[in-house]
């Protein structure tokens, strides 16, 4: 082959190589194949520690769970039902070692009366709790006339020498449907002096 022809072929080959090196291989998004027969791998951005970042759809918040607030339950009432209210006398009594447990017995005399249109002839549960942690519970009949029920709580020697503020509640669990459920509490404050050696009365007041 003549020298000029050989030089022309060489220059053409060099030009083709330079043109190939300057081309950019692109990936066809629809086919998944790269032009020119080369494949490209998609890289995922990782968060520190090697975890891959989640897409917005995988991070959507979970449905909220509705919870009932404490005390949010509604209490049923009956306009034709009974309506209990508590009353007390201005004096209480202490009997040393008079409780079934052998401790001293403090009695608060309470009358449970029904002022509603509905009759009630069964016993009514009650609960009494003091601001110092004393507590007792039981059942009482509806008072008729001027009768009062002695509601008792046990006393330790350490319970004396202070005032005890009792909250007495009739039907504390609202098991009886009444005309009015908001008037079932009575607050009584008992002033305890030194522990007595014999039975006697102590002052107690109710606002």
Phi/psi class of residue 50: alpha, beta or left (left: φ > 0; alpha: ψ in -120 to 50)?
left
What CATH architecture is 84-205? Sandwich (2.60)
| pLDDT tens, position by position, 93-102 | 999 999 999 9
Six-digit token pair at 88? 């007390």
CA distance 55 to 25: 28
Are 104 and 84 in contact by the 8 Å Cβ rule? The answer is no
The domain locations on the chain are: 84-205
| pLDDT tens, position by position, 120-174 | 999 999 999 999 999 999 999 999 888 999 999 999 999 999 999 999 999 999 9
Residue count (the chain): 207
| pLDDT tens, position by position, 44-80 | 334 334 333 333 344 443 333 333 334 545 579 999 9
| DSSP-derived secondary structure for 97-124 | T-STTSSEEEEEEEEEEE-SSS---S-E
What is the pTM assigned to this prediction?
A: 0.64
CA distance 186 to 167: 6
């Amino acid at each position: 082959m003549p020298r000029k022809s050989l030089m022309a072929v060489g220059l053409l080959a060099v030009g083709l190589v330079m043109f190939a090196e300057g081309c950019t291989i692109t990936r066809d998004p629809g086919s998944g194949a790269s032009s020119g027969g080369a494949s490209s791998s998609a890289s995922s951005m990782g968060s520190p520690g090697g975890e891959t970042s989640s897409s917005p759809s995988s991070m959507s918040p979970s449905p909220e769970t509705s919870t009932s607030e404490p005390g949010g339950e509604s209490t049923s009432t009956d306009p034709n039902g009974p309506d209990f209210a508590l009353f007390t006398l201005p004096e209480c009594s202490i009997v040393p070692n008079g409780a079934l447990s052998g401790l001293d017995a403090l009695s608060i005399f309470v009358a449970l009366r029904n002022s509603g249109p509905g009759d009630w002839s069964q016993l009514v549960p009650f609960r009494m709790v003091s601001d110092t942690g004393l507590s007792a519970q039981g059942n009482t009949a509806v008072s008729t006339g001027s009768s009062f029920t002695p509601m008792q709580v046990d006393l330790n020697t350490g319970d004396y020498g202070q005032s005890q503020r009792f909250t007495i509640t009739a039907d504390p669990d609202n098991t009886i449907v009444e005309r009015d459920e908001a008037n079932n509490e009575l607050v009584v404050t008992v002033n305890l002096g030194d522990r007595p050696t014999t039975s006697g009365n102590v002052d107690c007041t109710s606002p």
